[in-house]
Amino acid sequence: MNDRSCLAVILAAGLGTRMKSAMPKVMHSVGGRPMLGHVLDTATRAGSDRIAVVVGPGMKSVEDLVKAGHSASQCFVQQERAGTAHAVLAALGALEIPADDVIVLYGDTPLVTPEAIETVRRALAEGADVAVLGFEAGDPTGYGRLLVEDGRLMAIREEKDADEQERRVTFCNSGIMGFRGALLPELLDVIGNDNAKGEFYLTDAVEIAGARGLSVVAKTGPAVDVLGVNDRVQLAECEAVFQARMRRKAMLFGVTLVAPETVFFSHDTKLGADVVVEPNVVFGPGVTVSDGAIIHAFSHLEGAFVDAGANIGSYARLRPGAEIGEGAKVGNFVEIKKATVEPGAKVNHLSYIGDARVGAKANIGAGTITCNYDGYDKFFTDIGEGAFIGSNSALVAPVSVGKGALVAAGSVIVKDVPDDALALARGQQAIKEGRAASIRAIKEKTRSKG
C-alpha cells in the first residue's frame, strides 16, 4: 500500500461531558500521552500522508498538540456538533485534495493499531469503495450494528434506530471507516438527518453507496483495538490494556519484570535487554534504561536516562534531566533532578542532587543536599571525579568541589573546594561536664511543683 496516498480524518470535537472535566476528552492521557496523540501516531505509522483533525470551537490545547508534533496535520473546526458526517464535512478543505484512501478515525480510541487501519486500507486497495472495520461483541449494547447479507455490508444501524432483530446482531461498528478518496465528498452531500437523534450520521454512507451499486465491505478486527472512551471508567480500562501490552512487549524483548502487574509504563519508555524491574516501579514519559540496569522497588522515573549496569532505588526518584552513568548507584530515598551522575559514582541514600554534576566514582554521603534554588533562580553544583562528600552536608550553589576533594560530614559548603583539599564547615563543638545531669534535676523539680 506504499504506492497509495492516504488522508486520515480524525474526529476530535467531542466535549466528553461524561468525563466530568474542563479538559477536552481527547486530551486525557493513556500511558502518559493524550489519547489524540496515540491516534495521530498510529495514523502516521499506518501510512497516512496527511491528517485532518476535526476539533470543536475553542479547543486550543487540542490544536496545539496537533501543531506541535505532526507537521503533516491540519485542524478544522466543527462549529456546531451535528453528527459524525457533519464533523467530516468540516474537513472538506482536506477532502478536496485528491487521495487514494480516506480513513476516518476517532480521537478517543487510543488503542487503535496500525494493523487495524491497514486492514481497511487493504480492502480499498482490493477494490472496495467503502470499507468498515467491525468487531464481535459479547454485549453489543450501545454499539451500531453491522448488517451483512451474502458478504455485503448493507447498513450500519445505530442502536436507537435499530429494530428488535437488528439489536440481536453482535457484529458491531468500530467507527473506523475507509472510502475511495474521490467518493466521500459525494456521499457527504446526500446524507440526511432523519433519525432518532436528528444528526448527520457518517454510517448512512453505507446504505447510500450500496444503493448506487458500489462495493461496500465489512472487515473484522479485535474488539480491544477499538475501545472508545466516554468516561473515566473506560479511560481506566484503556489504560489497563495499554499497560498489559507494554509489559508483554518489554518481557518479550528481554526485560525481567518481577511483578509485571505492578509496573507502569509510558508510551515512550525504552528498556534494554537484561534490565530488571522490581515491583511497584513507575516510568513517566521520556525514560530510557540501558542494558543490564536494575530498577529497584517503589522507584519513580521521568525524563531520565539510565546507562548500562546502573542501580536505581529502592524508593528513588529520577526527575527530568537526570542522567545516570554506567555502573552508577542511586540508592533509597534519593532524588535526582537535572543532574548527571557519572559512571561509577554513588549517591546511596537520603540525598537530593539537583542542577549538578557528580563526577565519576565520587561518593555522596547520606543526607547530602545541593542547595540549588534561592527562591528566584537555579544554580549549578559541580562535584569532581572521585570526590567524597560526607553525610549531612549542604552544598550551596553555585559551588564546585574539586577532583578527589573531601567534604567533612555536617559541612555547609559555600566556597569552591580545590582538587584534593579537605573542607570542614561546622560550628565548634563545646562540652559542658555534668550539665545534662543538672538540667534533668531542674526539670524534675519543676515538674514536681507543677
Confidence of residue 146 (pLDDT cuts 50, 70, 90): very high
Point out the domain boundary residue: 197, 226, 255: 226
Span 30-43, pLDDT tens digits: 999 999 999 999 99
Question: Would residue 443 count as lying in a domain?
Answer: no
State the Cα–Cα distance between residues 198 and 56, nearest whole angstrom: 19
| 241 is a domain residue | no
Domain hosting residue 150, numbered range: 6-226
pLDDT value of position 424: 95
Q: What percent of the chain has pLDDT over 90?
A: 88
Could you give the number of structural domains in the chain?
Answer: 2
**Same domain, yes or no, for 321 and 417?**
yes
Q: Is 446 contained in some domain? A: no
Q: Assess whether pLDDT exceeds 70 at residue 122.
A: yes
Q: Rounded CA gap, 236 and 233, in Å?
A: 5
Residues 251 and 222 grouped into a single domain: no
Instruction: Please indicate, yes or no, whether residues 127 and 44 belong to a single structural domain of this protein.
Output: yes
444 domain residue, yes or no:
no
* DSSP codes of every residue in 17-44: GGG--SS-GGGSEETTEEHHHHHHHHHH
pLDDT of residue 181: 87
Half-sphere exposure of 175 (CA within 13 A, CB side): 22
Residues 190 and 332 in one domain: no
The answer to whether residue 23 sits within a structural domain is yes
Question: What CATH number is attached to the domain comprising 285?
Answer: 2.160.10.10
Q: Are residues 192 and 277 in the same domain?
A: no
Q: Position 171: which residue type?
A: F
Q: Does residue 39 sit in the same domain as residue 173?
A: yes
Q: Residue range 215-233: average pLDDT? A: 95
Q: What is the pLDDT of residue 158?
A: 87
Q: How much is the mean pLDDT over the chain?
A: 95
In terms of domains, do 282 and 215 share one? no
Please report which residue ranges of 174-231 form alpha helices under DSSP H.
184-190, 205-211
User: Does residue 142 sit in helix, strand or coil?
Assistant: coil
Rounded Cα distance, 147 and 433, in Å? 96
Query: How would you write 370-390 as a 3-class SS string?
Result: EECECCCCECCEEECCCCEEC
In a shared domain, residues 205 and 273: no
Kindly list the catalytic residues: 349
- Residue 232: inside a domain: no
Q: Within 13 Å, how many C-alpha atoms sit on residue 413's CB side?
A: 33
Per-residue pLDDT of 276-298, as tens digits, reads 999 999 999 999 999 999 999 99
Confidence of residue 197 (pLDDT cuts 50, 70, 90): confident
Q: Is residue 61 domain-resident?
A: yes
Residue 375 belongs to a domain: yes
Residue 335 sits in the same domain as residue 385: yes
Read off the pLDDT of residues 43-102 as tens digits, 9 standing for 90 and up: 999 999 999 999 999 999 999 999 987 778 999 999 988 899 999 999 999 999 999 999
The reply to whether 317 and 400 lie within a common domain is yes
Identify the pLDDT of residue 1: 64
**Tell me: the pLDDT tens digits for 262-273?**
999 999 999 999
- Summarised one tens digit per residue, pLDDT across range 391-404 is 999 999 999 999 99
pLDDT for 450: 60
Does the pLDDT value for residue 167 go beyond 80? yes
Which cell numbers in the block locate residue 119? 486492514
Q: What is the DSSP string of 286-332?
A: S-EE-TT-EE-TT-EE-S-EE-TT-EE-SS-EE-TT-EE-TT-EEEE
* Final residue of a structural domain among 226, 258, 287: 226
Specify whether 263 is located in the same domain as 220. Answer: no
Domain of 145, CATH number, reads 3.90.550.10
pLDDT of residue 99: 95
Q: What is the pLDDT of residue 360?
A: 98
Do 217 and 268 have their domain in common? no
Asked which of 192, 226, 260 is the last residue of a domain, the reply is: 226
